[in-house]
A and B are shown apart, each in its own frame.
Chain A
């Protein structure tokens, strides 16, 4: 049943999809939605395995392990979801909608970012009273829009183009404070799987590739590229780049934009490797499975043009061919004469 766009999952959410994630342990996919639900799918079997309803739109979700996960909702709550019993409990709250959530295996902590301009760290092993689970609250210069973890590093992107980089072992202050090298609002930030830096995307159809190491040599490697644009009548239509997902094995990455396209890029060689067929509407989220064989694409209108009629929200799980994601380094052999 695979088509150009991949297999469409049945029973998708009834409203926009805010994020989706593959598990690190299986092909389970956790999907959070504006219809106030978090759904658990088995992507290869195309079966809905669980559904959790919240009291407000759910803006992000993540796995803990194969038996539980977490969700961040616009009703200011941070919840833990237990898949086997289909139960959930509230771990804590922010003062405003919780926008992003990540679980750090390295630190054993849950990290949430919110529009109340703070980052909070939680210890999910504690009992569910907020006092016991909350490890710390860290103020940010602005509302948190995106965050990403790799190893011991946490990158937080906020409104106003601020970027804070933390070492999870010492959260008292950021390791680095930066401004985004792009000129417009940040949409998404993702760390490279090899831990040397992060990719940052904005609403202006650009992605910046940055590095943590502040030495001259490393900073010389950083660059930005334009993507997700369409040229029409001599000028560009510039689409926001909503999602970035790194392939766990090859280190190449996919970006999804409001133009409905997913592109795969080789960051080291600075090339585009592939472009998938256009999806019905904006790409809201992307996730590679743990073995890199599947790519989940949330084709879901993201409101970049305000409320308007749009295609139905859908999740596509497509098989990934090696040729689409494998880097092609420069070849040193002789070209055929």
Chain B
């Protein structure tokens, strides 16, 4: 009935769905990621650098099924994915083609974010998958950040530090006469403990953050919290033992590793000068954990060798050599107490900070 839109074939029809010519896929060479409105169904995972994801899946994309997911509707930095034998050479696409950008920007969202949109924290496995995906592909270069796998939900990893705080703290330390190497050491410890937080979140079965609930922004009572934990605590046991020993072997720091069945014997946290510490290992094993935070107790710095995961050192930009300590140090009596446990180390609590659960045995003096 209508002619085929030539512009669309080239990936640059500016009229989008209003175009009076037909927008069909692929008359020309297949173009997996480039312009041309491909209908690739696996949009979530990939290479959708400028995917405009919509929160509400029905937002805009619903009308435009044909033209889904045009990852580069937005112009791109991402030349490597712009293969595809169209007229547009990869590096030229940046911003000069303003008038010829496809209208597809809008349609892109529908598939792109459907996974995230639909994610509800009903199944820890699902949550875990989501986390793995996020941390695998999109880890930011700034890692001293909080993180939540589910939008609108409380954070899975707490301990947000902005770079201004880091910098202010470093300047302050320097002003007070702290030597550069010790500032650097402080920073490195903070960084390491954060890395471990993330690794833990990734490697262990997903547990809800303490104050979370499926309807966010409410603080639950202990009773309500216990449920998600008890469900997962069984999984926790065997898994944590193995990860424990796994992590333990790679360490060359002189601290104790619990022998096979972790029990409460390791109750007292011991804090080593280098900043490693062992939290309560009473957390592991058969006991149901009132406190299973996203961060489990023990921390193994330098465990970056470990895993294929998250914040490896591979990217040159990702790991910084030195990171100043920060506001956190005010609250921490000992630097490397794992995130969730720092609360027990404080001398005084402000209202609102007081945890509702009892402390793990290790912290009861």
Which A positions have Cβ atoms within 8 angstroms of B?
Answer: 16, 18, 34, 57, 59, 74, 96-97, 99, 115, 141-143, 145, 159-161, 177-185, 187, 203-205, 208, 219-227, 229-232, 234-240, 258-259, 261, 263, 269-275, 302-308, 323, 328, 330-332, 334-335, 337
Stretch at the interface among B121-129, B162-170, B248-256, B258-266: B162-170
- The chain B residue sitting closest to A307, CB to CB, is B322
User: Cβ of A203 and Cβ of B324 under 8 Å apart?
Assistant: no
Binary contact readout B235-248 vs A (1 if CB under 8 angstroms, 0 otherwise): 00000000000000
Which B positions have Cβ atoms within 8 angstroms of A?
Answer: 3, 5, 7, 13-16, 18-21, 47-56, 58-60, 73-75, 77-81, 94-95, 98-99, 101, 103, 105-106, 109, 113, 134, 137-142, 144-149, 151-155, 158, 160-168, 170-171, 184, 187, 216-217, 315, 317, 320-324, 327, 352
User: Cβ of B53 and Cβ of A271 under 8 Å apart?
Assistant: no
- Pick from A204, A221, A272, A304: contact of B163, CB under 8 Å: A304
Contacts of B49 in A (CB 8 A): 226, 229, 231, 236
Q: How far is the CA of A337 from the CA of B22 in the complex (A)?
A: 12
Contacts of B149 in A (CB 8 A): 183
Contacts of A323 in B (CB 8 A): 98
Contacts of B147 in A (CB 8 A): 183-184
Q: How far is the CA of A223 from the CA of B50 in the complex (A)?
A: 12
For the complex formed, measure the closest distance between the CB of A209 and the CB atoms of chain B, giving whole angstroms.
9
For the complex formed, measure the closest distance between the CB of A237 and the CB atoms of chain B, giving whole angstroms.
6
Contacts of A187 in B (CB 8 A): 162
A330 with B54, Cβ < 8 A, contacts A184-B147, A231-B49, A337-B3 known: no
Q: How far is the CA of A208 from the CA of B113 in the complex (A)?
A: 13
Q: A159-B146, A306-B187, A334-B20 are in contact. List 16 more A-B contacts (CB 8 A).
A: A115-B327, A143-B327, A161-B146, A179-B152, A179-B154, A183-B134, A204-B145, A229-B77, A231-B47, A231-B49, A231-B80, A273-B98, A307-B184, A330-B18, A335-B20, A335-B21
User: Cβ of B160 and Cβ of A160 under 8 Å apart?
Assistant: yes
Contacts of B58 in A (CB 8 A): 220
Contacts of A99 in B (CB 8 A): 164
User: Cβ of A184 and Cβ of B141 under 8 Å apart?
Assistant: no
User: Cβ of B53 and Cβ of A183 under 8 Å apart?
Assistant: no
User: Cβ of A227 and Cβ of B50 under 8 Å apart?
Assistant: yes
- The chain A residue sitting closest to B99, CB to CB, is A328
User: Cβ of A160 and Cβ of B13 under 8 Å apart?
Assistant: no
Contacts of A181 in B (CB 8 A): 55, 151-152
Q: How far is the CA of A331 from the CA of B17 in the complex (A)?
A: 11
Q: How far is the CA of A211 from the CA of B15 in the complex (A)?
A: 27
Question: What are 17 A-B contacts defined by CB distance under 8 Å?
Answer: A143-B160, A143-B162, A145-B162, A159-B161, A179-B153, A184-B145, A184-B147, A204-B140, A226-B52, A227-B50, A229-B49, A231-B80, A236-B138, A237-B315, A272-B101, A304-B141, A335-B5
Contacts of B168 in A (CB 8 A): 57, 59, 74, 97
Contacts of B184 in A (CB 8 A): 307
- Pick from A142, A143, A205, A272: contact of B75, CB under 8 Å: A272
User: Cβ of B141 and Cβ of A238 under 8 Å apart?
Assistant: yes
User: Cβ of A306 and Cβ of B75 under 8 Å apart?
Assistant: no
- Total residue contacts A-B, CB cutoff 8 A: 214
User: Cβ of A224 and Cβ of B148 under 8 Å apart?
Assistant: no
- The chain A residue sitting closest to B191, CB to CB, is A306
Contacts of B7 in A (CB 8 A): 335
Q: How far is the CA of A270 from the CA of B323 in the complex (A)?
A: 37
- The chain B residue sitting closest to A274, CB to CB, is B95
Contacts of B164 in A (CB 8 A): 18, 59, 99, 302-303
User: Cβ of B142 and Cβ of A275 under 8 Å apart?
Assistant: no
- The chain B residue sitting closest to A181, CB to CB, is B151
For the complex formed, measure the closest distance between the CB of B70 and the CB atoms of chain A, giving whole angstroms.
12
- The chain B residue sitting closest to A238, CB to CB, is B140
For the complex formed, measure the closest distance between the CB of B139 and the CB atoms of chain A, giving whole angstroms.
7
User: Cβ of B146 and Cβ of A179 under 8 Å apart?
Assistant: no
Contacts of B165 in A (CB 8 A): 97, 115, 143
Q: Nearest 6 A-B pairs (CB), nearest first?
A: A306-B320, A185-B145, A159-B160, A275-B95, A225-B52, A303-B163
Contacts of A57 in B (CB 8 A): 167-168, 171
For the complex formed, measure the closest distance between the CB of A212 and the CB atoms of chain B, giving whole angstroms.
15
Q: How far is the CA of A258 from the CA of B98 in the complex (A)?
A: 24
Q: How far is the CA of A237 from the CA of B106 in the complex (A)?
A: 24
Contacts of B13 in A (CB 8 A): 335
Most buried by B among A142, A143, A181, A203: A203
Contacts of B217 in A (CB 8 A): 177, 179
User: Cβ of A225 and Cβ of B137 under 8 Å apart?
Assistant: no
Contacts of B50 in A (CB 8 A): 225-227, 272
User: Cβ of B77 and Cβ of A160 under 8 Å apart?
Assistant: no
A236 with B20, Cβ < 8 A, contacts A115-B165, A161-B146 known: no
Q: How far is the CA of A330 from the CA of B99 in the complex (A)?
A: 10
User: Cβ of A219 and Cβ of B56 under 8 Å apart?
Assistant: yes
- Pick from A184, A223, A273, A330: contact of B55, CB under 8 Å: A223
For the complex formed, measure the closest distance between the CB of A233 and the CB atoms of chain B, giving whole angstroms.
8
